[in-house]
């Protein structure tokens, strides 16, 4: 079967498989319902300070697996819901930043620079419409780049990289993530090292416990869900609880009186904002394609580029930071363009690029039937005699799910954004205990063991202390996930080269990857001011 056959099967898997009910005589598939539900949840989560898309994905994943099971039919509905959350949370984050000057995420801080001054001038609806248009534009552009570049990159990797080269590529990815996340490469390396250490506890390839300290509970290693949810979610909750204890309960933020004056966002405003949206979409897509950098840097670079361009073109007009609609558009286009591009390393290399991608990888691993990497884009494989590659069908199903989410974003996203601003009123002293309870419940639902809950709490304390000393937790999480892939690939390369311990240095490409890893870490450690900046 050819390319177009797989594409059609992927589209059909989203729209026709497992219909939940009929609407006007047409079947509505479970996957489409899950995408729409996830999108709505994502907007609510994004509009709630203290929550984030990855947090909602972390809580939802174990519950989704318990509901749908781990059969192949569960893969697209579960991934569809998670993709919907990721897309919705991306645009929802602008709501509290514009209306209440309360950024829920670091990249939303830049939206407050111009969005909140516009709200105070009675232009809140105009700012929200601009944020929605820019966000949807950047997201759609990023997805189109994903659809075209991920297969090409995967084919190049499969053609030119063998086991030693793939081992070197994983090492380069881990080094790059450790070096660029945060402002301290040393702390990033420590975080990645801790992640690898945790990943290698328990039974390895030789089927006997290692680093388990003689404890039966550690003989099989740490379940992925305990480490990831513990460090990412519980650690953040514990840190938030400590902040509340120190500062006391915070009163809900009160919105300013906002009129409907000048709330239009028409063709004139589109023409005004489009150059900034175009540039920021390119910046966000380029940043998103690099593992581990994330949307904060993209938003910063997009806003800075727009500010310089505006100051150069219009030196006599008010600058960014005074309530310019172009500033809102530049920021939102950049941070939204990251979401699609972040799946480029996931689908083509099997390497998660940010926290949201981590939970997509976990869903794929938990359910099975799909192993992201270069092999998923092969046209031959899968069912013998039929020439079907079921993993390629899933890829096109994922692409279709992203386009459905984009269609919801364009059609309903703006309406939802303007209706969920009330979520910013929820005080953290009520929100954090709910998140803690939901996370622990989700862990127990998936593992059905209190031992897993205790492990997650332990990793939560580790995540709390890492935040307290300024160590980023993302290198830990990605290193924990990639650690076993690194070991497996390195063992296979070692065996394939006849037990050559120097296999990384006998391949020019693998050696180049290792050398690049050393260069990236060295430059990050010695960059000016690297030792003085807090993480």
Give 96-120 pLDDT, tens digit per residue. Answer: 888 877 766 666 778 888 888 888 8
Query: What residues does 202 pair with on adjacent strands?
Result: 210
pLDDT: which is higher, 294 or 507: 507
Average pLDDT value over all residues in the chain: 82
In a domain? residue 532: no
Rounded to an integer, the average pLDDT of 11-37 is 82
Provide the domain limits for residue 199. 3-526
pLDDT band at 385 (very low <50, low <70, confident <90, very high): very low
pLDDT band at 35 (very low <50, low <70, confident <90, very high): very high
Give me the pLDDT at residue 293, please: 62
* % of the chain at pLDDT higher than 90: 15
* % of the chain at pLDDT higher than 70: 87
pLDDT at 25 over 70: no
Give me the pLDDT at residue 404, please: 93
pLDDT band at 39 (very low <50, low <70, confident <90, very high): very high
DSSP character at residue 252: P
Give me the pLDDT at residue 254, please: 47
Q: What are phi and psi of 104, to 5 degrees?
A: -80, -25
In a domain? residue 535: no
Comparing CA positions, the residue from 96, 45, 49, 52 lying closest to residue 429 is 49
Give me the pLDDT at residue 78, please: 92
DSSP character at residue 207: S
Rounded to an integer, the average pLDDT of 258-278 is 78
In a domain? residue 142: yes
Rounded to an integer, the average pLDDT of 230-241 is 87
Rounded to an integer, the average pLDDT of 459-483 is 88
Backbone conformation region of residue 211, classed left if phi is above 0, alpha if psi is from -120 to 50, else beta? left
275, 309 Cβ separation under 8 angstroms: yes
Residues 439, 454, 357, 153, Cα dihedral to 10° = -160
**Most confident listed range (25-34, 310-319, 496-505, 510-519):** 510-519
pLDDT band at 527 (very low <50, low <70, confident <90, very high): low
In a domain? residue 187: yes
Tally of domains within the chain: 1
pLDDT: which is higher, 172 or 253: 172
Rounded to an integer, the average pLDDT of 234-245 is 87
In a domain? residue 469: yes
| 173 Cβ neighbours under 8 A, 6+ residues apart | 291, 292, 345, 349, 351, 482
């Amino acid at each position: 079967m050819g390319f177009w056959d797989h594409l059609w099967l992927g589209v059909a898997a989203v729209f026709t498989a497992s219909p939940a009910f009929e609407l006007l005589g047409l079947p509505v598939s479970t996957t489409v319902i899950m995408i729409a539900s996830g999108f709505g949840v994502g907007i609510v989560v994004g509009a709630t300070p203290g929550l984030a898309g990855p947090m909602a994905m972390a809580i939802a994943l174990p519950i989704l697996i318990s509901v749908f099971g781990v059969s192949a039919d569960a893969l697209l509905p579960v991934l569809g819901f998670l993709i919907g959350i990721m897309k919705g949370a991306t645009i929802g984050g602008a709501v509290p930043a514009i209306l209440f000057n309360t950024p829920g995420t670091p990249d939303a801080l830049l939206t407050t620079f111009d969005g909140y001054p516009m709200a105070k001038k009675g232009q809140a609806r105009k700012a929200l419409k601009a944020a929605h248009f820019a966000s949807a534009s950047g997201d759609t552009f990023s997805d189109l780049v994903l659809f075209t570049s991920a297969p090409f990159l995967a084919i190049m990797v499969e053609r030119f990289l063998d086991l030693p080269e793939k081992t070197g590529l994983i090492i380069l990815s881990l080094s790059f993530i450790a070096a660029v996340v945060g402002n301290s490469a040393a702390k990033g390396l420590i975080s990645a090292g801790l992640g690898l250490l945790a990943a290698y506890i328990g039974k390895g390839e030789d089927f006997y416990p290692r680093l388990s300290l003689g404890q039966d509970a550690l003989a099989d290693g740490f379940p992925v869900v305990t480490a990831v949810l513990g460090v990412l979610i519980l650690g953040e909750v514990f840190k938030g609880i400590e902040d509340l204890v120190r500062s006391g309960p915070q009163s809900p933020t009160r919105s300013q009186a906002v009129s409907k004056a000048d709330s239009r966002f028409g063709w004139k405003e589109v023409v005004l904002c489009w150059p900034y949206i175009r540039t920021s979409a390119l910046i966000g897509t380029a940043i998103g394609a690099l593992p581990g950098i994330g949307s904060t840097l993209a938003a910063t670079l997009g806003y800075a580029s727009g500010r310089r361009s505006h100051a150069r073109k219009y030196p006599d007009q008010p600058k960014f930071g005074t309530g310019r609609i172009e500033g809102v558009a530049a920021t939102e286009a950049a941070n939204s363009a990251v979401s699609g591009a972040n799946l480029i390393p996931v689908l083509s290399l099997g390497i998660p690029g940010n926290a949201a991608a981590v939970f997509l990888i976990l869903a794929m691993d938990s359910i099975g039937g799909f192993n992201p990497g270069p092999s998923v884009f092969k046209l031959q494989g899968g069912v013998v005699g039929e020439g079907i590659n079921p993993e390629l069908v899933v890829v096109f199903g994922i692409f279709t799910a992203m386009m459905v989410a984009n269609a919801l974003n364009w059609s309903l996203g703006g309406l939802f954004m303007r209706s969920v601003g009330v979520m910013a009123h929820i005080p953290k002293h009520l929100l954090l205990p709910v998140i803690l309870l939901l996370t622990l419940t989700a862990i127990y639902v998936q593992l059905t063991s209190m031992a897993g809950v205790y492990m997650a709490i332990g990793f939560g304390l580790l995540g709390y202390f890492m935040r307290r000393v300024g160590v980023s937790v993302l290198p830990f999480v990605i290193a924990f996930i990639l650690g076993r892939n690194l070991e497996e690939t390195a063992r296979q390369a070692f065996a394939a080269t006849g037990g050559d311990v120097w296999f990384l240095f006998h391949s020019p490409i693998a050696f180049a990857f290792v050398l690049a890893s050393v260069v990236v870490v060295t430059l990050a450690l010695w960059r000016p001011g690297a030792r003085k900046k807090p993480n």
